[in-house]
Amino acid sequence: MDLPRSFVIREGDLRILNPFDAGKLATLGRALKLRPGTSILDLCSGKGELLCTWARDHAVVGTGVDISTAFTEAARARAVELGVAERVRFVHGDAASYVPDEPVDVAACVGATWIGGGVAGTLEILQRGLRPGGIALVGEPYWRIDPPDQTTVEGCHAATREDFRDLPGLVRLFGDQGWDLVEMVLADQDSWDRYAAAHWLNLRRWLDANPGDPLAGELRQELTEDPLRHVRYEREYLGWGVFALIRR
């Protein structure tokens, strides 16, 4: 059970594996008014930056779960680097089926709602590990601008326009599922650029060092096509944010 190797190559030395930068991640932690000892479950925790930096800055405790062995190892190393290894732990496993031993104060799935087949299913997964009155964190794309055609939809990594909602539609969905939206921090075009462009440099350096690798052709094509796709479609039409929710 693991992610394809291309994911590890593409993310390279990135610590935040979504269109947030360190400032926005810190803003979210402050906005949630985290107290020392707050317990957090981070599903699809990636390289652990959310848990590790919030443990350092707010003295939270928690567990991260991710399917990637490489990302889990990087998260454990980051915890040691920041001196928070006694506060947080990282588990290699299937986030969709993981249930904590005790309910937590905050349950997060930031940028991976595919584990529940979408927002509604992911909220059900988060709720089963959440204490009454606890906060669910969901990271999710939304349409900034209504896509004019199918080419634009596919340029934003969607199969159909209905794969994403606009921001009002996403907020309405939270309410329809029985949750109050209590905070949100949104990515902007610059943080999209930082995330996307970092992939291009990672891919180019890997290709230069591994020209004969079986993945080289696939990743060469990605590097050729992705910059134009990003500036033409993704940065203009697709937004992304993390939304804090409390069950009604």
Per the rule left: phi > 0, alpha: psi between -120 and 50, beta: everything else, 70 is alpha
Give the 3-state secondary structure of residue 220: helix
pLDDT band at 217 (very low <50, low <70, confident <90, very high): very high
Contacts of 6 (CB under 8 A, 6+ apart): 215, 218, 219
Measured CA angle at 66 (ends 61, 68), to 5 deg: 140
d(CA 107, CA 109): 7
Q: What dihedral do alpha carbons 142, 145, 151, 153 form, nearest 10°?
A: 10
pLDDT at 66: 97
pLDDT band at 109 (very low <50, low <70, confident <90, very high): very high
| Residue 230 DSSP code | I
pLDDT at 197: 97
d(CA 158, CA 187): 18
Residues 73-97: tens digit of each pLDDT: 999 999 999 999 999 999 999 999 9
Contacts of 137 (CB under 8 A, 6+ apart): 28, 106, 107, 108, 109, 110, 126, 242, 243, 244, 245
Mean model confidence pLDDT for the chain:
97
Nearest CA to 44 out of 67, 26, 14 is that of 67
> Residue 102 pLDDT > 90, yes or no?
yes
> Residue 1 pLDDT > 90, yes or no?
no
d(CA 143, CA 240): 8
Measured CA angle at 65 (ends 61, 70), to 5 deg: 115
Beta bridge partners, 107, equal 41, 136
pLDDT band at 172 (very low <50, low <70, confident <90, very high): very high
d(CA 199, CA 110): 19
Helix (H) or strand (E) holding 8: helix 5-11
Longest CA pairwise span in the chain (Å): 55
User: What's the alpha-carbon Rg for the chain, to the nearest Å?
Assistant: 18
CATH fold of 5-144+162-189+239-247? Rossmann fold (3.40.50)
d(CA 244, CA 185): 9
Q: For the chain, which residues make up each domain, given as ranges? A: 5-144+162-189+239-247
Average pLDDT over residues 51-55: 98
Token pair listed for 90: 């990282």
